[in-house]
Amino acid sequence: MLGAMALTRSRAGVGLGNVVVRRCHSDSGWKNRRNVVSGFIARVMDNPLPLGVGALVVGILQLRRIMEREKRKEVKETDEVQPSLADPWQVTCYRSLPLRHVSRVWGAVNELHLPNTVRRWVLGAYVRTFGCDLTEAENSDLDSYENLGQFFRRRLKEGVRVVEEGECLVSPCDGRVLHWGQVGSGGLVEQVKGVTYKIEHFLGQSKDPTGVALESVTADKQAPDSDCVPPTCLYQCVLYLAPGDYHCFHSPADWQVTTRRHFPGELLSVSPGIVRRVQGLFSINERVAYLGRWKHGFFSMTAVGATNVGSVKVGLDPDLTTNTRRWEVDTFHQQVWEDGVEVKKGEYFGEFNLGSTVVLIFEAPENFKFNFGVEGEVVKMGRSIGEHQSVIDEIKPSDESVIEEIENTEDTIKPLPLDLSTGEQESVKEMESTGEISKPLPIIEK
């Protein structure tokens, strides 16, 4: 029996006394592996069907890659990128995520008190991640912010944003412009190129007790009887605030706010990549629309919520509460100011807790021009984003008028006498008082 146990242990490679029994080195293992590889190659060559199928698959993939490359070249030449919309089932799955609950949790985290030992480390990591410019902040000391929410809502130093004067429309916030232009026929608004939503879905029903009726601005305009009043149409502009941007938004013009409409909804991401994929995203998300009138007619500014941006605060509307636990899908909450609330261009209007989107939809003359170059262009609050064409012509006269003005000025201004006696100076003053000299001449006293 002991012999059998020893034999068994020796076969297992272990000798008595836990000593491993080692075998002599041999090339047979390598030869066996090489024979296996040779046999596999021989079987593949004897049956070429798998090899042919593999070559066909590789050829199809290569052809597809070439076609996509040529398509990208055509798109680059025409500068027209066709949007790739997500499938309905993808949007449904995305909307089923508990993003509203996540946003409420994130809002609670924002208001948590940060101990002094970790405050600078946490806020500094956020500054580095999103590229925040602390030199523009009214308070650049990170230790003075008790939580993330206070840092998100930081104000700017006085004078770092200059609001352009005149008749121009200015940017209400810091951010990037995603899209701009006229509202399409039938009230179709583009959130980005080729991806649209309806204005009545975005701003609500047409009825408005304050007299701002959407049907009056979405209908096709008739040319006015008077030549002094140019015809108007609807324009729209979409501005995206990144997490590192200044989070407050201001009034883009002098206008009168008459109505607030709060639309509870989803809190999907409004990053440019998602906006290009989800049809009608701005009509799905929670938003707060402020409607009113300005010098050219209808005017609206809408703050669109997003993931982790359920909280929107507006200075003139302290009763506004967003991202509530319970909400109705088919209704909106309306606040009416019968006398209207006057707001001035550049005046503080509201703030987000993180990056989001501001949408302007307004009525303006047909020759209104935006001042953007390309989509994705960075804009700062207070910068001119568009104005009436006649105003541009007044500010920028033609070269001929400038030359004519200079010539007329040269005719009226005569060479000045540089050395006059006291009597001559008195004579000049007397001629100026009687009107014999068209323009006063500066006198240089001795």
Q: Backbone phi, then psi, for 158, in 5-degree steps?
A: -70, 125
Centre a 10 Å sphere on the Cβ of residue 193 and count the other Cβ atoms it contains: 15
| Runs of H (alpha helix) within 252-355 | 272-275, 281-284
Residue of 179, 247, 250, 262 with catalytic role: 250
Region class of 412: left (phi > 0), else alpha (psi between -120 and 50), else beta? alpha
User: Has 356 been annotated as catalytic?
Assistant: yes
The residue type at 354: L
Helices 49-78 and 28-46, interaxial angle, to 10°?
Answer: 70
Beta bridge mates, 261: 289, 334
Alpha-carbon distances, residue 118 vs 113, 144, 211 (angstroms): 10, 13, 53
- Neighbouring residues of 149: CB distance < 8 A, sequence distance ≥ 6: 107, 110, 111, 353
User: Has 87 been annotated as catalytic?
Assistant: no
User: For residue 232, what is the DSSP state?
Assistant: E
- Neighbouring residues of 342: CB distance < 8 A, sequence distance ≥ 6: 254, 255, 256
Region class of 423: left (phi > 0), else alpha (psi between -120 and 50), else beta? alpha
Distance CA 310, CA 353 (A): 8
3-class DSSP state of 428: helix
Alpha-carbon distances, residue 408 vs 261, 393, 404, 412, 435 (angstroms): 56, 21, 6, 7, 19
Alpha-carbon distances, residue 97 vs 70, 103, 269, 336 (angstroms): 37, 11, 12, 34
User: Has 174 been annotated as catalytic?
Assistant: yes
Least Cα distance to 303 among 238, 366, 234, 253 occurs for 238
Residue of 174, 208, 245, 317 with catalytic role: 174
Residue of 208, 251, 356, 388 with catalytic role: 356
Distance CA 387, CA 231 (A): 15
Distance CA 313, CA 303 (A): 10
Active site residues: 174, 250, 356
